[in-house]
Amino acid sequence: MTTVTESVRNVPASGPLLWVNRKETAVEPTPTQAVEPARIVALVRAAQRGDRLAVSGLLELVTPYVRRLCGPIALDDGPDATQEALIAVFRRLRQLEEPAALFGWVRAIAVREAVRHAQRAGRYAPAELTEVPAPGDPQLAADIRDVLDRLTPEHRAVLVLRDLEGMDERQTAELLGVATGTVKSRLSRARLSFRRAWQQ
Amino acid sequence: MTEQTAPASWPVADFDPVRRLAVLAATVPGAALHQAVVDAPFDRVWAVAADLEGALPHWLPDIRTVRPSADGTEALVVGHSRLRARFDIELRPGWCLMQSRFVLGGMAAHPEDDGTTRFAFLGAFRFPAIGLLATVLRPATAPLGERSLRRFEALVREAHG
């Protein structure tokens, strides 16, 4: 008979270490490049069965990704947003039917939680930019934090999903639960508006 | 010559082991998380926390002995009551998680800017039904957690003295 603990230990050991002696300062792998899919599936299954060491390993695996999503959307509230997003992820873990889709599922929860948390915190300044800067805008490359400071959380989410996650308008609209037209309007006339704001 | 624009730097949210333990606590039914700011630097605090064999029995009330395996990934824990269990252990600076068949324990620490250290520990049963019972009993067990924290802080002070 295989115990829960044994099942975690039988997770394939090749690839980057997920939790054993991994230091906080280690370079964080991007989720899609670093961990074997079979290992992710085994961890998710063990965590769904209630193995808390597997939960801990999974937590370590997804936390860098959630931090990267919540940071640009929630800004100064990023740590709280990350914590709330992770709590939401692990409370709903049993609902994840397809473990291989872990990161897409985590992304949807994290972005929504980050927007919700940033809205609730209400600490952002009134938006000076009404649209998201276009891809490749030199000002965007020069100072992302300044751009983010002048966008609403919803606009920041659009920017993150497009520029960090490479999602298109339809995917972004689905994830944020808004119409595609809404995403388009946030992106439209972007370069002109953005440059105008910068030139003032 | 065209000057190259530096790669954009996207802000990444800070996150520390104490927050991670809080996430675990929030997802385990009946888990109790106790935390305090200890007036000592991280290294001194974690030296006591990580000494499972020498220190744990002195600040957690039900633990009598802890016998870690040679590689430190397991420990036999014997309590003053009926507790006698083998725990799997995940231990690294600032983070410790211990899991037996029925019990989950954890510790986390993070240095604060002012030279103090935020320390937290977690106790939980691993199964929902027991966890619900623990939730009911929490008002009774909360003072034990606070008492344990005070004992832990005293150990840190003694270790320095």
Query: Looking at the predicted structure, is the pLDDT value of residue B5 above 60?
Result: no
CA atoms within 13 A of residue A151's CA, in its CB half-sphere = 27
Model confidence over B102-135: pLDDT tens digits? Answer: 888 999 999 999 999 999 999 876 555 554 445 5
Tokens of A183: 């995403």
Query: Looking at the predicted structure, is the pLDDT value of residue B1 above 50?
Result: no
Q: What is the pLDDT of residue A98?
A: 93
A170 near B CB under 8 A = no
Model confidence over B61-111: pLDDT tens digits? Answer: 888 999 999 998 999 999 887 778 999 999 999 999 998 888 889 999 999
- DSSP structure class, residue B28: S
Contact flag A50-B127 (C-beta cutoff 8 Å): yes
Q: Say which CATH topology domain A125-200 has.
A: Arc Repressor Mutant, subunit A (1.10.10)
Higher-pLDDT residue of B157 and A5 is B157
| Interface confidence (ipTM) of the complex | 0.80
Contact flag A79-B27 (C-beta cutoff 8 Å): no
Percent pLDDT > 90 in chain B is 61
- Tokens 């873990």 locate to A93
Question: What are the structural domain ranges in chain A?
Answer: 1-10+27-123, 125-200
Residue A37 burial by Cβ neighbours in a 10 Å radius (0-12, 13-18, 19+): exposed
Write the CATH number of the domain with boundaries A1-10+27-123: 1.10.1740.10
Contact flag B17-A24 (C-beta cutoff 8 Å): yes
- To the nearest whole Å, the CA of B14 is away from the closest chain A CA by 5
What are the residue ranges in chain A where pLDDT is below 50? Answer: 1-29, 32, 189-194, 198, 200
Question: What are the structural domain ranges in chain B?
Answer: 17-160
A94 near B CB under 8 A = no
Q: What is the pLDDT of residue A122?
A: 73
**CA angle A199-A182-A111, nearest 5°?**
90
Q: What is the pLDDT of residue B160?
A: 74
Second CATH level (architecture) for the domain B17-160? 2-Layer Sandwich (3.30)
